[in-house]
Amino acid sequence: MNTIQLISDSFIENNCNFKLLIDRLKDGFANPSIEVPMRHHHDYPNPPEDKDSTLLLMPAFNPGVDAGVKIVTASPNNGNYNLPAIQGTYIYLDAHKGNVKAILDGKSLTTKRTASTSALASSYLSRENASSLLMIGTGALAKNLIQAHATVRPITKVYVWGRSLEKAQAVCDELSNASYSCIAITNIEDKISEVDIISCATLSPTPIVFGKWLKEGQHLDLVGAYKKDMREADDEAVLKSSVFLDTYQGGIKESGDIVIPLNNGTLNIEDIKADLFELCTGSKKGRTSEKEITYFKSVGHALEDLVAASYFYSEFISKK
């Protein structure tokens, strides 16, 4: 019987080459063989917190090759317990024989694939000479988003904002040896109009990025706001931008950054320019001018998890 490999967060953290993972994701989104059912999204009561938690089940299949499912919980108040808001496990399978090949700790798998997906989108949507980045949010994704964006664009300056300046500084401290400078800031408005890329990964229920601050040529990368009643950018930001999604399947149904403007008439489905499947296959274009403001909304997709699990499994086996 084949041994089930246990792949830890520490292995994933120490063995991620963002360029390789971004390239693998690009190939994955261009691969018509990979099948991805709509993920299960269940909000359930969490009485001790008086706020719902969420259970996500995310399957994907590459027939005859591999398959997998991620089991994720999201508990927004976990910061009170010094725990991540999002926790999960990935079960990686042989799609031919059905045996479990590996169990991967889901936290780092999710942060690496999410950050790499944003960078993949940025490679189509941000300006090629984009050199400055504002990171809004200080959770587990922040450092990874910065590193991934810097893989596809010549980033030289990074600014980090969070509700806690101490946490923003901690993100910068982790990146003290990077090739770019990293500065913690206390006010979003001070820098948002100056940077080329704005990446936002928060659990904010209301907008914290306002269209009135945006300037020509910027790229807006929205990764948080994973529920229909949450959003990180306002309607004016939508109106000023060309809107793109990771996938239509989840993007138009799951996040308030798209659902709310669709419901109030600010955005129509036909206004959405493309998703990552269309960008990676070349059937639709990304940025078309230097002055265009691009707006990318990511809600996550099981294809990303399967591709990332395959990548880290290969790395793990090669190093045994």
**DSSP strand E in 206-284: where?**
219-222, 242-245, 274-275
Closest to 289 in 3D by CA, of 122, 126, 119: 126
Residue with structure tokens 């963002």?
18
Digit-coded pLDDT (tens) for 271-281: 999 999 999 99
Tell me how far apart the alpha carbons of residues 233 and 231 are, in angstroms, rounded to a whole number.
Answer: 6
Handedness of CA 23, 118, 194, 185 (dihedral sign): negative
Mind listing the pLDDT tens digit for each residue in 212-234?
999 999 999 999 988 888 999 99
Domains present along the chain, CATH in parentheses: 5-109+303-318 (3.30.1780.10), 111-301 (3.40.50.720)
Identify the helix (H) or strand (E) that includes residue 88.
strand 86-94
pTM to 2 decimal places: 0.92
Instruction: Dig out the tokens for 209 from the structure.
Output: 């990025």
pLDDT score of 24 more than 60: yes
Q: List the one residue out of 235, 252, 162 whose CA is nearest residue 201.
A: 162
- 3-class state of residue 225 by DSSP: coil
Band (1; pLDDT cuts 50, 70, 90) = low
Q: How far apart are CA 258 and CA 260, in angstroms?
A: 6
pLDDT tens digit sequence for 64-97 = 999 999 998 988 888 889 887 878 999 999 999 9
Question: If we measure between CA atoms, which residue out of 37, 104, 32, 98 comes closest to residue 65?
Answer: 98
